[in-house]
Amino acid sequence: MRLLVLFALAGLASAHTLQLTGVTVRIEGNSTEVNVVAHVPLLLGKDPAVNIPQRLQLQLDGQPFRPGSSATLKSDPLSDTVSWTAREARAAGAVVVSAPLFPDRPEDTTVVLVYRNGQLIDRSALNPAHPSAVIGETVFEVMRRFVQMGIFHILSGPDHILFVLGLILVGGAARRLLGVITAFTLAHSLTVSLTALGMTSLSPRLVEPMIALSIVVVGLENLLRRKANFEVRAWLAFGFGFFHGFGFAGALAEVGLPKQAIGWSLASFNIGVELGQAFIVLLALPLLGVIRRKSERVGDLVTQGTSALIVGAGAVWFVARILG
């Protein structure tokens, strides 16, 4: 039965997969057993008892898998495979596999199955395009991880930060600014969800330059309009928000969505992005408000100067991404 599941997963992972490496994690009571089935030729003559543990980049609840001294090794000459089994005296929650066992062999797929008390609870297929996975988590652990991922992604992306900052630099009534930010949120949430679910896609060769162009456009809009047109700004935020959503979806593509909690993970990632976005707004708006209250002229200079920097950064990124 396990082999059937392995082959089915391999078919989903790649129509061109020629061979499989299997990693089965069995969590029973207060112990976690790990079994690795690998093709002997991939080991290049090295001792599997030493080479397999070295290749296995496995963590249980954030800690490296540390098996006892009772690891076993079995060979199957008919299939030319070797089976390595080891056990650690603790029950795992989240299981993290950081890389395929044979990352230098793109034709090989590492298929990971996680069983808890005899029931298959999660699985993943790792290859150079999808090199890591976090599986076996509870829904709460999934939500926490994806909220953190969403926050980190927007706060670690200067292009996203500058776009949001450009949208609010001119100030205005809270209701109008909320409408602009909401338009951006709706657009990028839609494309993140559709892309993560495999319903649509767009090449990074187009997405990344368009994100850079969005920064240039919103900065120029600040410079060229003496008074902000919030209706136009909302449409700009909405239109370019689609491309920022494709950029956000790239982070999800790298880690994959946990199959037991697809909806929760998507919602949590979007919540994380919004929390990061709210942090930018709540940090910048009061500061801009204080400056404008002290001196309207200084406030205008800050807006114009920052907008010019935003245009410059966006233009540099646009050219680099077009040529890159």
Contact predicate 183/230, CB 8 Å: no
Where exactly does CATH 1.20.1250 map onto the chain? 139-323
Fold (CATH) for 139-323: Growth Hormone; Chain: A; (1.20.1250)
Name the residue type at position 249: A
- Distance between CA 201 and CA 192 in Å, rounded? 10
End-to-end CA distance of the chain: 47
Contact predicate 227/300, CB 8 Å: no
Q: Tens digit of pLDDT per residue, the chain (324 long)?
A: 444 444 444 444 334 434 889 999 999 989 999 999 999 999 999 999 999 999 999 999 889 998 877 899 999 999 899 999 999 999 888 899 989 999 988 889 999 999 989 998 888 888 887 888 888 787 888 898 899 999 998 898 899 999 999 998 887 777 888 888 899 999 999 999 888 888 888 888 999 999 999 999 999 988 887 677 788 888 999 999 999 999 888 777 777 777 767 888 889 999 999 999 999 988 998 898 899 888 988 988 998 999 999 999 999 999 999 997
3-class state of residue 115 by DSSP: strand
Instruction: Look up residue 57 and give its DSSP letter.
Output: -
The length of the chain in residues reads 324
- Distance between CA 246 and CA 214 in Å, rounded? 13
**Of 233, 292, 256, whose CA–CA distance to 97 is shortest?**
256
Contact predicate 145/267, CB 8 Å: no
